[in-house]
Structure 1
Amino acid sequence: MAALLQRQKTGKGCRIDVSMLESMVEWMGFPLYYAYQGQSAPPRQGASHASIYPYGPFEASDGKVMLGLQNEREWGILCHQVLEMPQLEKDGRFGNTTLRSQNRTELYQIICDRFKENTAVEVVEKLEKAGIANAKLNSMNDVWEHPQLEARNRFAEVETEAGFVKTSIPPGMSGDVQARLEPVPAIGQHNEKILREFGLEKKTTQQEKSEKDVKMSV
């Protein structure tokens, strides 16, 4: 839509370049600002699978790692090659995906205890070598400092009451066009303008006082 409007106004087209990373950052805008400049991020609501296990985030020594098992073959590989706990494969509590899901609290602790012996990067390397689906789980602060976003110049500054604040540029927007980032309005800044558009006028202090006096006399 932005490219069409740009063409209509200038007669020039835009190259559409949409990154999956930048699209996900756009979706994370609300929780991302909780973690602005190192503040605490809102608690995660869960990313584990409802019926397949282990599938979801697990703790390493310095962060979290996502992994997902799809079958019994991968469960065996995880036990032998990644956790280096071959006895776990035949443990009666974890004999199939249904049992693993039912006993996920115990299994989660076992996996985390093992993963915490390594950094998140080291755990990812082990999972990669074993051929198990994985990803390092970024924190909100990791997103603010993501090298790919910085390399693609996906951040700009927007003016607020508290000064200039870093913000992400909408995904898909051409780098040849400067993003229009108007100052963030203060609370109530445009109240009078909005009321006038609806044919209403903001009451003056004297009007409010007069109405209050009438109510009291009644």
Structure 2
Amino acid sequence: MLPLEGILVVALEQAVAAPFATRQLADLGARVIKIERPGTGDFARKYDETVHGQSSHFIWLNRNKESITLDIKDPKDREVLDALIAKADVFVQNLAPGAVDRLGLTTHERLIVANISGYGPDGPYQDKKAYDLLVQCEAGVVSLTGTPGEPAKAGIPVADIAAGMYAYSGVLSALYERERTGKGTTFDVAMLDALGEWAGFPYYFAKYGGTEPPRAGAKHAAISPYGPYRTADGTVFIGVQNDREWRALCESVLGRADLATDARFATNTARVAHDDELTALLEQALAGRSSAEVEHRLDTAGIANARMRTMAEFAAHPQLEARRRWADVGTPGGEVTALLPPVDVHGRLPRLDPVPDLGEHSAAIRAELGLPEDR
């Protein structure tokens, strides 16, 4: 039995943030009923057609769920929604600002309600539309990402994911609180707040350091050496976190023990200030060695390192293969290979039910509620 078996989650959701949260709950055993628009469904279904003719976003976010189509403005369909919420333990929604308030939903004492929005339920931005890129801009993340010459957004929807993760943890904490009090609760998660929390270090760096963190490409604005360094046949990424590791790098990998005590590089702050000089010296020392040799030396010295992989190379990652972290999941277009849930509940098989087709469970759910089928 998985931890959340017996918990019913009703989700008025679309795009990424709320579906990401509810998929985590579903992976842990919760029954998630996803409410979609008749005809079109969650608009993330149409973002692309790369996965057996289906959207990569939708396949990623919607396994282990049931889909029912409802026009929530129609009185008959609204009756179905009300009946579902009356049975639900958790209600999650990320509709447009004010949409759920206009519905006037009736809740019950034990219900946990998670509202996900772009900017929160009040304030001058409360009615402003919010998508991932736009929130990345408002939270300052785009100003931090990219190269000195050009800002960039993060390569994955970090604002959506951040909000989804806080909604997920919020539901878990609310379920725990309900076990003690017998009562549900309502909470709000704003994408701006969530991503702002993730940007905590650059916020403090800028507010109290007096300068914005520089855009450093694949390097780090406040740690050195930390990033890509050229070898004889490619590039190795190195991460040094403290002065002890810096000394080990100089002595055991670079063969330059003198650099460890050089005043320009003796502390992390000094190394960041002289990063260009340090990079040139590191690459000079690594120029005669292959990437494989450098990685071996780094591992032996206990220095963190990595190679930059493409997504295709990630899919064939030897660590994931050795730990059997892939499994097949059904979709309306055919099976896909999915990464198993990060929360590995020992001794219990993960739940890997198929991604639902639009409205696939409508008739069954209506019958369960004792309500008539779609007209």
Normalising by structure 2, report the TM-score: 0.33
User: Which residue identity is paired with 2:303?
Assistant: A
1:133 equivalent in structure 2? 303
Identity rate, percent: 32
2:274 equivalent in structure 1? 103
Deviation readout 1:112-140 (Å, 9 max, x if unpaired): 454454344321222244x3422334634
Show structure 1 runs of 5+ residues with no match.
7-25, 34-40, 205-218
> 1:54 and 2:253 equivalent?
no
What secondary structure is seen at the aligned counterpart in 2 of 1:167?
strand
2:63 equivalent in structure 1? none
How far apart are 1:86 and its partner, in Å? 5.6
2:334 equivalent in structure 1? 163
How far apart are 1:89 and its partner, in Å? 5.0
> 1:70 and 2:242 equivalent?
yes
> 1:94 and 2:269 equivalent?
no
> 1:181 and 2:352 equivalent?
yes
RMSD: 4.5
Deviation readout 1:25-77 (Å, 9 max, x if unpaired): x9xxx8xx7xxxxxxx948x977555342235545434533331522x65454
Aligned with 1:84 (options 255, 258, 261)? 255
1:153 equivalent in structure 2? 324
Asked if structure 1 preserves the Cα contact closer than 8 Å seen for 2:250 and 2:259, the reply is yes
User: Which residue identity is paired with 2:269?
Assistant: T
Query: C-alpha distance in 2, partners of 1:178/1:98?
Result: 47
Asked if structure 2 preserves the Cα contact closer than 8 Å seen for 1:65 and 1:120, the reply is no
| Distance change (3 Å), C-alpha of 1:97 and 1:173 | closer
What secondary structure is seen at the aligned counterpart in 2 of 1:79?
helix
What secondary structure is seen at the aligned counterpart in 1 of 2:344?
coil
Asked if structure 1 preserves the Cα contact closer than 8 Å seen for 2:225 and 2:275, the reply is yes
| Distance change (3 Å), C-alpha of 1:128 and 1:173 | closer
2:315 equivalent in structure 1? 144
Asked which structure has the greater CA Rg, the reply is 1
| Distance change (3 Å), C-alpha of 1:132 and 1:183 | closer
Normalising by structure 1, report the TM-score: 0.50
User: Which residue identity is paired with 1:2?
Assistant: L
Query: C-alpha distance in 1, partners of 2:349/2:241?
Result: 44
**What stretches of structure 1 move > 4 A for 4+ residues in a row?**
3-6, 45-50, 85-93, 188-193
Asked if structure 1 preserves the Cα contact closer than 8 Å seen for 2:329 and 2:337, the reply is yes
How far apart are 1:108 and its partner, in Å? 2.9
Show structure 2 runs of 5+ residues with no match.
7-26, 28-56, 61-153, 157-215
Query: C-alpha distance in 2, partners of 1:91/1:104?
Result: 13
What secondary structure is seen at the aligned counterpart in 2 of 1:160?
coil
Asked if structure 1 preserves the Cα contact closer than 8 Å seen for 2:298 and 2:305, the reply is no
User: Which residue identity is paired with 2:242?
Assistant: Q
Query: C-alpha distance in 1, partners of 2:320/2:287?
Result: 29
> 1:2 and 2:22 equivalent?
no
| Distance change (3 Å), C-alpha of 1:162 and 1:103 | farther
Query: C-alpha distance in 2, partners of 1:89/1:151?
Result: 37
How far apart are 1:91 and its partner, in Å? 5.7
| More helix as a share of residues | 1
Deviation readout 1:193-213 (Å, 9 max, x if unpaired): 8xx89x9xx9x9xxxxxxxxx
Matches within 5 A, 1:9-24: none
| Distance change (3 Å), C-alpha of 1:86 and 1:100 | same
Asked if structure 2 preserves the Cα contact closer than 8 Å seen for 1:65 and 1:124, the reply is no
User: Which residue identity is paired with 1:182?
Assistant: D
